[in-house]
Amino acid sequence: MGVGSNATNGRLCCIAALCLAGLSGCGGGGSDAAGDGAGAGACTGSRDHYSGNALVDSLISGPSSSWLWNFRAVSGGFKYSFEPGVAVSVVPGAIAFNASQRQAALEMFAYIHSVTGIEFTETSGGEANLRLVNSPDRSRSVFTTWDQSSTYVVMTLESVLFDFGDPRPGTYGYLTLLHELGHALGLIHPPALPNAVDSNMGSALVCGTNVDCNNTPTTFGRNDLLALKWIYGADGFGGEYGYNSRCGSTL
């Protein structure tokens, strides 16, 4: 199923109970305009890794991160798979996503495409670069990790306390899956923020780190969206804007 028209080993994040534990490696620039006048018009984007907006930059992985897909030689967006066999090297005994988890993931893929332009196409076998499975250990933390070629979003089937196995919109499980997909796109846990902005309504990546999950949003927060725009533009992998592009990054 397609959505849209068009390294090193490591783990970035885990969720245990109501807390997110940033592991090692989890965590402004100037304008430096790209200055490329070719094409339809002059480019006005920045080549800097960071935007200069502290709230946005607190969500962006460091310059050496393997999570920033615009730096990879990837075309056609994400090729995803729910098959447990594609993740056995990372999650021994992996279990397939159930129907509820798949439905939630497909809804999120469509949403992410609408705000980033990134395409999502279902595939089977080894060509998947986004692999979504369940850990066989229901007590194990939910996490996102990667290897040289793929990103793995690992949930569990726990459905009593946190709805991980039944992530319907408005539940903590739905927010958790959205949060993990944010990591898959290169977003990290921000540090503690001022009270005025320290709310998961500003970021789906802050929930559980600095604040309790009093809100369970179904979309990325305003700061997440700005960070994703800086990284990818709004035209997917390898587009005109964002990192490693002709025109650079803009907010």
Q: What is the pLDDT of residues 29-81, one digit of tens each?
A: 333 444 444 445 678 889 898 999 988 898 988 876 666 777 665 667 899 99
Half-sphere CA count of 60, side-chain side, radius 13 A: 29
Tens of pLDDT, residue by residue over 12-30, are 444 332 223 333 333 333 3
Q: In this predicted model, what pLDDT tens digit does every residue of 144-195 receive, in sequence order?
A: 888 877 888 999 888 777 788 999 998 888 998 999 999 999 898 887 555 4
Residue 157 neighbours by CB under 8 Å, 6+ apart:
95, 98, 134, 138, 164, 165
* Strand blocks (E) in 65-216: 78-81, 120-122, 130-134, 142-146, 151-155
User: Which pLDDT value is given to residue 213?
Assistant: 52
The residues facing 131 across adjacent strands are 81, 152
Instruction: Please give the structure tokens belonging to residue 16.
Output: 């245990």
What CA–CA distance (Å, rounded) separates 173 from 176?
5
Which residue is listed with tokens 């970035």?
Answer: 12
Decide which of 216 and 83 is more confident: 83
